[in-house]
Structure 1
Amino acid sequence: MSLLVVGAGGLLGGEVCRRALALGHRVIGTYHSAPGEIPGVGWRPLDIRNRVAVRELCAAVRPSVVINAASRYEDWTVNADGAAAVAQGAADVGARLVHLSSDAVHGGRPEPYGDDEAPSPITAYGASKAAAETAVRAVHPAAVVVRTSLIIGDERSAHVRTAVDLITGRRSGVLFTDEVRCPIGVADLAAAVLELSAGTGVTVLNVAGPDTVTRAELGELIAVRYGLDPLRVPVSTVAASGLHRPGHVVLDSSRASGLLTTRVRGIRELLGVT
């Protein structure tokens, strides 16, 4: 396949590029400020907020698949407007589209969320990701929207870096004991995304890890993985913080498990922690 990976400089986008190249695909990756360092990728500058630039790049590259892994926390113009521009560019050239969304589109509840449940965001970031989904499905009805959870990699992963920095005192803050998620390894998610890029017939799919852990528990597992003291993880609760955040958000990924050959590892296996 010929892939255009939007947001190739990020953790997930970069992993998608590496795996696609290993499979023999032609890969064009976009960057906003500086090209990445993955040999074999054809790097192109792109500001996805510029609709004209997005459409011109898609027309020039004419990929068979576009994967949109671009995201910026609480930036509506990137998350929502940019997603709409990418969807339009892919539709214009008849490319398949895989759009990465987030469990932040849900507001939190005790029961798991199924694939097709309507978004119910309670944060600005969640609202921007929900708006992106709406735009993508309107502009490119055949697109696959992948809802995922906390993406875990090495020290480049924001969640790993945050936990290590909190434990070592390089930054202040806490990890919440009442905020539940389903973390997934970046390599597993990238493999699933590439499977979906070949076409499956689904339009919205949960692809998250099989384990449910609190943010605080995740921090403790990361501490063990990096040889740090898990008792030094600073913890609190969302309720005590006064913040308005989704608490219990669990994605039911059973449909993805039956559809894909990619095996998504649990968080303890992923981190090598027993």
Structure 2
Amino acid sequence: MGATYLTKPGGSSGVEWLALDVRSRAAVAEVFEGFRPEVTVNAAYRQADWASTADGAAYVALGVSRVGGRLVHVSSDAVFSGAVASYDERSVPDPITPYGAAKAAAETAVRAVVPDAVVARTSLIVGNGESVHESFVHALATGRRDGVLFTDDVRCPVHVADLAAALLEAAVRGLSGILHVAGADALSRYDLGTLIARRDGLDASRLPTGRRADTDLPGPLDVRLNCTATQQRLQTRLRGAREFLTPPDP
């Protein structure tokens, strides 16, 4: 198994770590020619960098097309504007931010170069205390950071283990096309933060709230991925945050 990195290798054992800057078409081609993977999962992105998010995805797709194998490309709910109640796998991207536009362009490139690739759109990713959102909630609840959790910014949070299992299943089974891999619950960032605080024994009443609509932050407010069709294709069950953030009974 191989994995790539930009600045430093990860800590997983049994993995061949390969230095790679996906912004370089030549570097991507060299890695593919040398490693020749049977399955490639592309999760590379930088929100403020078109070259990493869009061009890099195109170069990875070209690498797969050159040496063969399957491609699973990780996309985002940022490709949607939030103008409709929910988005299913047939929905056409209508991004309203540069990052969303880069993700949409990446989808187009991947599907054009590797028509049988999987494009897996996901949402806010939550882990076992290690995600950015969880760290932010902890910092707010303990007074280590200023800020607010928006009550009008809605997504469908997914557990990182569910996302990883779904991507692996899609690769192993040779699925193709667009998948929506998000959680079953649509929650505001404040509601999600409350669940995290309660799971971790923090005082949820200390979490400050605000409305994103009252700020000048760009981006959609309410984006809900409908995963019904995807769930019918996957054996992996995509749990809602109310389930995976509820502590088990003692």
Q: Which runs of 5+ in 2 are unaligned?
A: none
**Do the aligned residues in 1 keep the contact of 2:88 with 2:226 (CA within 8 Å)?**
yes
Alignment of 1:194-273 (within 5 A): 194-273=168-247
Query: Which of the numbers 10, 18, 27 marks the counterpart of 1:36?
Result: 10
**Superposition CA RMSD, Å:** 1.4
| SS across alignment from 1:40 | coil
TM-score computed with the length of structure 1 as normaliser: 0.87
TM-score computed with the length of structure 2 as normaliser: 0.95
| Cα distance, 1:243 vs structure 2 | 2.5
| SS across alignment from 1:169 | coil
**Do the aligned residues in 1 keep the contact of 2:195 with 2:246 (CA within 8 Å)?**
no
For 2:131, the aligned partner's letter is: S
Q: Which runs of 5+ in 1 are unaligned?
A: 1-26
Which has the larger displacement, 183-192 or 133-142?
133-142
Corresponding residue pairs, total: 248
For 1:220, the aligned partner's letter is: T
Whether 1:92 and 2:60 are equivalent positions in the alignment is no
Which has the larger displacement, 213-222 or 110-119?
110-119
Whether 1:72 and 2:41 are equivalent positions in the alignment is no
Query: Which of the numbers 95, 105, 119 marks the counterpart of 1:145?
Result: 119
Question: How far apart, CA to CA, are the structure 2 residues paired with 1:36 and 1:272?
Answer: 30
Alignment of 1:168-187 (within 5 A): 168-187=142-161
Percentage of pairs with the same residue: 52
| Cα distance, 1:270 vs structure 2 | 1.2
| SS across alignment from 1:261 | coil
| Cα distance, 1:159 vs structure 2 | 1.5
Query: Which of the numbers 82, 85, 104 marks the counterpart of 1:130?
Result: 104
1:20 is matched with: none
| Cα distance, 1:200 vs structure 2 | 4.4
For 2:66, the aligned partner's letter is: D
For 2:86, the aligned partner's letter is: P
| SS across alignment from 2:29 | helix
| Cα distance, 1:172 vs structure 2 | 2.2
Question: How far apart, CA to CA, are the structure 2 residues paired with 1:141 and 1:57?
Answer: 22
